[in-house]
């Protein structure tokens, strides 16, 4: 089993590891082929929200049977067995108001039935992954000494977009000036994020199969110079950015096993693994505390490492990794994604199933605030702008509610001193047309706030963006019909308009129109000032595009 994990993509590895799940007493019978099919679909579509062990986080607990006791001693029981196959089929097919997407246009009726039965069976625990396993997976394709000493192409690298082609396990690098696909490279399956080196030369990707790739943009054609596996499931990577440590290290966060790994930033040689297993903020042991978002501090040689299930925020000092120091900050459970505030002193992270946003002060190393929000905040990296009434605010959308939450953030800038009374308060909730938002985005040079709703089950919401006027938020948002503007034919399955990303100059907004594997997809580009269509980037090779990361904006945390 372990050897299989080391030698294949984790989509296959977790299928092997999980397909041997023994039958839960009373659970529907399944053939070996059905279990293998169910484990593959679960890894690709479900594990991110519900966990490999199905204990839940952003999504509900999907264990066959569970029992929990609240603070008053009241015992609650539940589980997928209690719901039964017919009820589970409806939930999977039609989604929920809490933010789960409908799968009736993604999975067949037969696949939905397989999944309804599969999650009533007990999951196996996948294999662990050690430093030796990392070393065995490490491939240094091109040593540093053999790489170019200068840029060998004429591409404006600062305006390149690293674009995930989710279901093909590829990354498309698109020239932001010409809007032509520069190159498509093999990466891990369903790349979750791309991060840039401090110099802007290298792109680091991490896939949901745990594979990290390091791509050198200085070649005439982008070239993968190193790769390594963090485990069988991962979501985040980040370089060291503080002065004197630029690109010295890369850190990667594991979903399985639950741990973070430190590598050499130039070669990806594995250096250290740190487990995140332990007690939650409630004092209960959790076997699967996954590492969600990681960012590099701008004021110290530290990474902010957010541990999902425990609700612990770790400030990891990378100045001496042999004698690693961590500051552990209690916040709230189910930490997910987030971004810097206006000043880049405070990191704002959604504790989404707790319906809170945590703010950590990276200068003092303490929790600055826990802000209550509507259901399931999901900011991406969030959006910073100057509110006409409340000063600097940071915005998050919600998977589980029809609002965009604006939170006042502090600053030492004297011209904003009059807004201090609002700090760490929800100052406004902008109404949206429904739940299912994944990303909100603006730019320092923009007067617009863009919001998507790709997880909403209604076509009229999933295929559009809503754009708010920052100067006058009392105006209703402008509806941008991304699917219609693409010119692509209407299909039974939704094409979800997702992940708005500005170009380097803040003049354009790029939106992924994410279709199925067999449907043509596109990147749709708009003029941010006029909100008019500017360009549709489509190609037979443009398959299931999702996240897009502009090199300059990602390097400098512009959002």
Q: Is 443 a catalytic residue?
A: no
Q: Say which of 192, 214, 312, 378 is annotated catalytic.
A: 378
> What's the pLDDT score for residue 23?
59
Which residues are CB-neighbours of 59 under 8 A, at least 6 positions away? Answer: 46, 49, 50, 51, 100
E strand or H helix that includes residue 270: strand 270-275
Task: Report the C-alpha gap between 339 and 362 in whole angstroms.
Answer: 13
Is the separation of the CB atoms in 375 and 401 below 8 Å?
yes
Residue indicated by tokens 């605030």? 369
Q: Say which of 18, 263, 286, 336 is annotated catalytic.
A: 336
Sequential DSSP letters for 10-42? HHHHHHHHHTTPPPPTTPPP--HHHHHHHHHHI
* Sign, Cα dihedral of 293, 295, 300, 301: positive
Least Cα distance to 508 among 532, 480, 483, 475 occurs for 532
- The predicted model scores a pTM of 0.89
Q: Say which of 18, 100, 214, 555 is annotated catalytic.
A: 100
How many residues in the chain?
Answer: 559
State how far the alpha carbon of 238 is from the alpha carbons of 15, 143, 196, 558, in Å: 28, 21, 8, 15
State how far the alpha carbon of 31 is from the alpha carbons of 65, 92, 113, in Å: 21, 21, 13
Q: Is 46 a catalytic residue?
A: yes
Domains and their CATH numbers in the chain: 2-118 (1.10.760.10), 440-537 (no CATH)
Q: 1: how many CB neighbours lie within 10 A of its CB?
A: 11
Q: What is the C-alpha end-to-end distance of the chain, expressed in Å?
A: 43
Q: Say which of 18, 30, 46, 196 is annotated catalytic.
A: 46
Which residues are CB-neighbours of 556 under 8 A, at least 6 positions away? Answer: none
DSSP 8-state assignment for residue 489: P
Which residues are CB-neighbours of 104 under 8 A, at least 6 positions away? Answer: 93, 94, 112
Per-residue tens of pLDDT for the chain, all 559 residues: 343 333 333 444 444 444 444 556 788 999 999 999 998 888 888 888 888 889 887 788 999 998 887 777 788 888 999 999 999 999 999 888 666 878 887 889 999 999 999 999 988 778 999 999 999 999 999 999 999 999 999 999 999 999 999 999 999 999 999 999 999 999 988 899 999 999 999 999 999 999 999 999 999 999 999 999 999 999 999 999 999 999 999 999 999 999 999 999 999 999 999 999 999 999 999 999 999 999 999 999 999 999 999 999 999 999 999 999 999 999 999 999 999 999 999 999 999 989 999 999 999 999 999 999 999 999 999 999 999 999 999 999 999 999 999 999 999 999 999 999 999 999 999 999 999 999 999 999 999 999 999 999 899 999 999 999 999 999 999 999 999 999 999 988 889 999 999 999 999 999 999 998 788 999 999 999 999 999 999 999 999 999 999 999 999 999 9
Q: Say which of 49, 134, 348, 555 is annotated catalytic.
A: 49
Q: Is 286 a catalytic residue?
A: no
Q: 518: how many CB neighbours lie within 10 A of its CB?
A: 8
Q: Say which of 18, 30, 50, 312 is annotated catalytic.
A: 50
Task: Report the C-alpha gap between 154 and 436 in whole angstroms.
Answer: 40
Q: What is the pLDDT of residues 111-145, one digit of tens each?
A: 999 999 999 998 877 899 999 999 999 999 999 99
Q: What is the pLDDT of residues 507-541, one digit of tens each?
A: 999 999 999 878 899 999 999 999 999 999 999 99
Q: Can you name the residues that pair with 134 across neighbouring β-strands?
A: none
């Amino acid at each position: 089993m372990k050897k299989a994990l080391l030698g294949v993509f984790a989509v296959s590895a977790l299928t092997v590891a999980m397909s041997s799940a023994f039958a839960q007493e009373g659970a529907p019978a399944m053939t070996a082929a059905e279990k293998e099919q169910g484990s593959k679909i679960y890894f690709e579509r479900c594990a991110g929200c519900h966990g490999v062990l199905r204990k839940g986080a952003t999504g509900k607990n999907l264990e066959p049977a569970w029992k929990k006791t609240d603070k008053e001693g009241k015992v609650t029981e539940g589980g997928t067995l209690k719901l039964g196959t017919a009820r589970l089929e409806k939930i999977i097919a039609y989604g929920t108001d809490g933010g789960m997407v409908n799968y009736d246009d993604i999975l067949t009726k037969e696949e939905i039935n397989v999944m309804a039965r599969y999650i009533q069976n007990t999951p196996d625990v996948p294999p662990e992954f050690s430093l030796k396993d990392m070393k065995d997976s490490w491939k240094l394709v091109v040593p540093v000494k053999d790489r170019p000493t200068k840029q060998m192409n004429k591409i404006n690298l600062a305006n390149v977009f690293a674009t995930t082609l989710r279901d093909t396990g590829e990354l498309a690098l698109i020239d932001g000036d010409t809007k032509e696909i520069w190159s498509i490279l093999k990466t891990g399956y369903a790349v979750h994020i791309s991060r840039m080196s401090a110099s802007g030369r290298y792109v680091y990707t991490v896939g949901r199969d745990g594979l990290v790739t390091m791509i050198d943009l200085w070649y005439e054609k982008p070239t993968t110079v190193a790769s390594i596996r963090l485990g069988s499931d991962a979501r985040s990577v980040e370089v060291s950015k503080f002065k004197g440590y630029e690109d010295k290290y890369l850190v990667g966060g594991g979903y399985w096993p639950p741990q973070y790994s430190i590598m050499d930033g130039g070669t990806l040689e594995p250096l250290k693994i740190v487990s995140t297993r332990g007690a939650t903020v409630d004092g209960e042991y959790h076997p699967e505390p996954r590492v969600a978002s990681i960012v590099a501090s701008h004021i110290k040689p530290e990474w902010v490492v957010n541990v999902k299930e425990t609700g612990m925020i770790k400030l990891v000092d990378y100045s001496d990794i042999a004698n690693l120091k961590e500051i552990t900050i209690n916040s709230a459970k189910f930490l997910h994604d987030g971004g810097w505030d206006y000043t880049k002193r405070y990191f704002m992270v959604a504790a989404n199933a707790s319906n809170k946003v945590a703010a950590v002060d990276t200068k003092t190393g303490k929790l600055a605030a826990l802000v209550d929000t509507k259901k399931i905040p999901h900011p991406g990296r969030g959006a910073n702008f100057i509110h006409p009434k409340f000063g600097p605010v940071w915005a998050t959308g919600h998977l589980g509610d029809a609002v965009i939450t604006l939170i006042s953030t502090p600053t030492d800038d004297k011209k904003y001193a009059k807004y201090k009374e609002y700090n760490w308060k929800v100052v406004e909730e902008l109404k949206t047309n429904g739940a299912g938002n994944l990303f909100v985005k603006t730019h320092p040079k923009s007067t617009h706030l863009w919001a998507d709703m790709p997880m909403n089950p209604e076509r009229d919401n999933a295929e559009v963006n809503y754009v708010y006027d920052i100067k006058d938020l009392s105006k209703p948002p402008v509806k941008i019909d991304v699917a219609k503007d693409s010119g692509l034919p209407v299909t039974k399955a939704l094409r979800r308009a997702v992940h708005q990303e500005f170009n380097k100059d803040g003049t354009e907004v790029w939106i992924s129109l994410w279709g199925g594997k067999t449907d043509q997809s596109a990147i749709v580009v708009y003029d941010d000032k006029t909100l008019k269509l500017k360009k549709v980037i489509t190609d037979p090779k443009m398959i299931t595009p999702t996240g897009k990361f502009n090199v300059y904006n990602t390097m400098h945390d512009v959002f």
